[in-house]
Each structure stands twice: as structure tokens, then as C-alpha cells.
Amino acid sequence: MTDEVLFYAQDGIAYITINRPHTKNAINLAVAKQIAAAIDTFENDNSLRVGIITGAGGTFCAGMDLKAFAKSGERPRIVGRGFAGLTESPPRKPLIAAVEGYALAGGCELALACDLIVAGEGAKFGLPEVKRGLCAAAGGLLRLPRQMPYRIALELALTGEMFSAESALQFGLINRLAPAGQALEAATNLARVIVANAPLALATSKEIISRSSGWPDDTMFDRQRELTDPVNSSSDAKEGALAFTEKRKPVWRGV
């Protein structure tokens, strides 16, 4: 039997591939558990600094496996971690979605849970749950209006219509648009730029940006200092300054 989630690492980058092309990479509970395990491997390996999640066979993910849901009521959700073992508990390290083909329903929500999105030309996004009597409960209704204009997000949620990668780029929902079939390559190029930077600074920068929108104005700098002071006094901070003065690449140790 073919592994339904593939994991490999190279040059500090972790690659997670949903490998169910015969179902357009629809997620069942077994796949959700495998994705969660892959994320744990990524998080716990200090040599890995950036992750990329993608789908096999020219499609990112068509969402929940509706056949499994219709047959047994199975939901591909892990308590505390959400749909696909990811949407409610993204990793602390940066995670990039490399999207080709369709990112629909839970697949769209999976992409939205990532920190950055690179899409191939012709890719399609959408939250079609309302067309099936469902609500998008894996973060799409929460994240979409925070990541693009409110009224556009509301229209997409209420109509259930798909929208193109080109439109997603226009509204700032994705970071980069690649030629069709080259999203993974473009995501890897982006990851290589990120992975060259200090791991403590990367994780903390992500944490501040993702959490600070809810911080009150009168305490936001205090909260930021709690997170940034340990980073700015770390060994890596000293190494960064020393490497700059010595005109060499820094050697990060994550401490």
C-alpha cells in the first residue's frame, strides 16, 4: 500500500506531501494522524527550520474525504489539533503551502493555516461547504476575513464559489504566483531564503506577528519585549553581529 503522507527533509527544509491523488488528496482520519506525526517530526528536529506542505498529482487538497464521512460519519479532525491534524495548532516554525490545482473546503483551510502560500497558475481556492449544507469549521471562516478584504471573504463564504490563484494574489491571500506545475519549486526557493536566517528569531517573529493583532495598544510593546529580549540576548544574536563584522555567513545554533 502506498504511503498516504510522504515526509522527507533536505537542507533544513521539511517536505510533507499528501499522497492520495486518486481522491484529489482528500483527508481522512488516518491521513490527519499522519500529517500530525509529520508536523511533530518537523517541530522536534532542530536541524529543520522551515516546512512545506503540498499535494501529489497536481492537486493540493480537496478537503474532507466525503465518502468516509457519508459512510461512517468519520471526521478527519484530531482533538486539540483540528482538521488534518494542523488547522487548530500550526507549528511554531514557519510553514509554507505549495498549492497546485484545487485547494477547496478543508484543503483551502489547510492552506490558510500555513504562514505563507505559493500557488501555481490555474490553482483554485474555495470554501464550498455551504453548497453541501455544511459550515467551514476548520478555520476558513476565521482566517479568510483576516487575510483578505472582509466583504470579499464574506462573498466567497456565502456563495461557495471558487476563486483563482490570480485573484488570491490580487487580494494578498498568497505570497507568490508560480507557473503551473512549479509551485513546489517556488516554495522551495522561498524556504531557502528563510532557512538561512536564525531559528530563534524566525520562530519568535512568527509568534509575534500571528498573536499581536489581539494585543491591547497599552501593553503590546511589553508583550513583545517578553518574547524578543531572550532572542536579542542569545548566542545567535552575538553570532549574527560577529559574522557581519567578519564578512562571513553566520553559523546558527538555535541558542
pLDDT value at residue 26: 95
CA distance 123 to 59: 8
Q: Give yes or no for a contact between 127 and 160, defined as CB atoms under 8 angstroms apart.
A: yes
- Cα-Cα-Cα-Cα dihedral sign, residues 26, 29, 35, 39: positive
Residues 155-185 have pLDDT tens digits of 999 999 999 999 999 999 999 999 999 999 9
Active site residue 161: no
Greatest Cα pair distance in the chain: 64
pLDDT value at residue 75: 86
pLDDT value at residue 2: 58
> pLDDT tens track of the chain, all 255 residues?
359 999 999 999 999 999 999 999 999 999 999 999 999 999 999 999 999 999 999 999 999 988 877 777 778 999 999 999 999 999 999 999 999 999 999 999 999 999 999 999 999 999 999 998 889 999 999 999 999 999 999 999 999 999 999 999 999 999 999 999 999 999 999 999 999 999 999 999 999 999 898 899 999 999 999 999 999 999 999 999 999 999 999 999 888
Cα distances (Å, whole numbers) of residue 52 to 14, 113, 155, 222:
6, 12, 29, 32
Active site residue 129: yes
Q: Of 228, 99, 236, 105, which Cα lies nearest the Cα of 168?
A: 99
Q: Of 29, 173, 22, 180, which Cα lies nearest the Cα of 100?
A: 180
Residues 179-204 have pLDDT tens digits of 999 999 999 999 999 999 999 999 99
- Write out the CATH class of domain 5-195: alpha beta
pLDDT value at residue 249: 92
pLDDT value at residue 1: 38
Please give the model's pTM, rounded to 2 decimal places: 0.93
| CB contact set of 113 (below 8 Å; sequence gap of 6+) | 82, 86, 87, 90, 95, 138, 139, 143
CA distance 253 to 81: 29
- From the candidates 4, 74, 88, 129, give the one annotated as an active-site residue: 129
